[in-house]
A and B are shown apart, each in its own frame.
Chain A
Amino acid sequence: GAVVSQHPSWVICKSGTSVKIECRSLDFQATTMFWYRQFPKQSLMLMATSNEGSKATYEQGVEKDKFLINHASLTLSTLTVTSAHPEDSSFYICSASRGRGTGNTIYFGEGSWLTVV
């Protein structure tokens, strides 16, 4: 079963509104979570690194005031797309690290499809 859960899987929102996507690690604590975005027919691009209890680290070109990331607990990180516009429509996916040192400890959520109309 899934060890990282995202919610919602699909969301449609009106232009100008905000939408929140949750990423939960179900049976382990994740001090670090990552948020990615995938535009149609393109690869996944890292948006930001979410650190529990501290501010997120954003990749170059990602607006931190538009994509608010909160990692309030060791099992939950949220991504809020503020004042969404149609160009924000994308597939957003999170990942969480479980432990260290072995290659299969990065788990991805199922992803969230955002459509802004």
Chain B
Amino acid sequence: GEDVEQSLFLSVREGDSSVINCTYTDSSSTYLYWYKQEPGAGLQLLTYIFSNMDMKQDQRLTVLLNKKDKHLSLRIADTQTGDSAIYFCAESYGGYQKVTFGTGTKLQVIP
């Protein structure tokens, strides 16, 4: 079955860049997502990338995809304290199918 793994914790200083990494096993994944979950809140879709893309940039967010290594990363430039949250990577086969989530990475931003 599908397996999506992430490191559990990342701590960065405010203003620095954060890089959150994710590996997945399902080579048939066609969509890869990054979600943000703040304490006590629901999920917020940050960005997504199609599997035929290598990179996607959206303001402070840069997603890199290495399909050969099944590695996905999310770079947050100029990290702010408001970026402190848990970040989930996720994958699906087809944009309308069930989503398989990673274990989540807790990002702590130190002022």
Chain A interface residues toward B at CB < 8 A:
6, 32, 34, 36, 42-46, 49, 93, 95, 97-111, 113
**Alpha-carbon distance between A109 and B35 when the two chains are bound, in angstroms:** 13
User: Does B92 make an interface contact (CB < 8 A)?
Assistant: yes
Residues of B contacting A98 in the complex (Cβ-Cβ under 8 angstroms): 96
Chain B interface residues toward A at CB < 8 A:
31, 33, 35, 40-43, 45, 48-50, 88, 92, 94-104
B48 touches A103 (CB 8 A): yes
Residues of A contacting B94 in the complex (Cβ-Cβ under 8 angstroms): 100-101
- Kindly identify which residue among A44, A104, A107 contacts B101, using a CB–CB cutoff of 8 Å: A44
Residues of A contacting B102 in the complex (Cβ-Cβ under 8 angstroms): 43
**Alpha-carbon distance between A90 and B22 when the two chains are bound, in angstroms:** 25
**Alpha-carbon distance between A61 and B95 when the two chains are bound, in angstroms:** 25
Tell me the minimal C-beta distance from A16 to chain B in angstroms.
26
**Alpha-carbon distance between A100 and B48 when the two chains are bound, in angstroms:** 15
Apart from the given pairs A34-B98, A43-B102, A111-B42, 4 other A-B contacts in the complex at a CB distance below 8 Å: A44-B88, A100-B94, A101-B95, A109-B42
CB within 8 Å for A104 and B45 given contacts A43-B88, A44-B88: yes
Residues of B contacting A46 in the complex (Cβ-Cβ under 8 angstroms): 98-100
